[in-house]
């Protein structure tokens, strides 16, 4: 599978990003989340860039963390304690975390407030990171 995350849907503008996560950081993240599904498209994203700040439909931003940021944020906010088998990969820069989990709409990306880490309160975004960023599915959830 090859997805070019630099070629985003017209609904987005990539404003800031850091270089790709290094292999050691990706391996550390995979080890930390052993037993939790880490979707291939997120790993592919990490191999292209990290800490991306993306403008959504000229109105709001989302940030997709790199491997070390993912590990740090999941650990410090105890996200798996509150939402087991989830994987937080970013935030909306407005107090809500973006994460992969099995929720009311099946497996996919959801968002919920950092202060309300409950899968039952989470809002479905998109079935995957590639569907969100490449196909534009779920962009309106951030408006």
pLDDT in tens, 67-112: 999 999 999 999 999 999 999 999 999 999 999 999 999 999 999 9
Residue 130 has pLDDT above 90, yes or no: yes
Among residues 68, 28, 75, the alpha carbon closest in space to that of 51 is found at: 68
For the chain, how far is it from start to end, CA to CA, in angstroms?
A: 30
pLDDT (0 to 100) of residue 112: 98
* Domain coordinates in residue numbering, the chain: 12-142
Total-model pTM: 0.95
CATH architecture of 12-142: 3-Layer(aba) Sandwich (3.40)
């Amino acid at each position: 599978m090859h997805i070019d995350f630099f070629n985003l849907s017209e609904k987005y503008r990539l404003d800031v990003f850091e270089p790709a996560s290094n292999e050691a950081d990706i391996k550390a993240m995979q080890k930390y989340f052993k037993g939790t599904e880490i979707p291939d498209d997120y790993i592919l994203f990490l191999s292209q860039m990290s800490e991306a700040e993306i403008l959504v439909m000229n109105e709001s931003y989302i940030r997709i963390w790199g491997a070390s940021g993912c590990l740090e944020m999941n650990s410090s906010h105890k996200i798996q304690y509150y939402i087991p088998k989830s994987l937080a990969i970013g935030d909306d820069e407005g107090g809500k975390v973006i994460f992969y989990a099995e929720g009311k709409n099946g497996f996919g990306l959801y968002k919920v407030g950092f202060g309300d880490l409950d899968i039952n309160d989470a809002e479905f975004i998109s079935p995957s990171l590639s569907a969100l960023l490449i196909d534009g599915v779920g962009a309106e959830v951030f408006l």
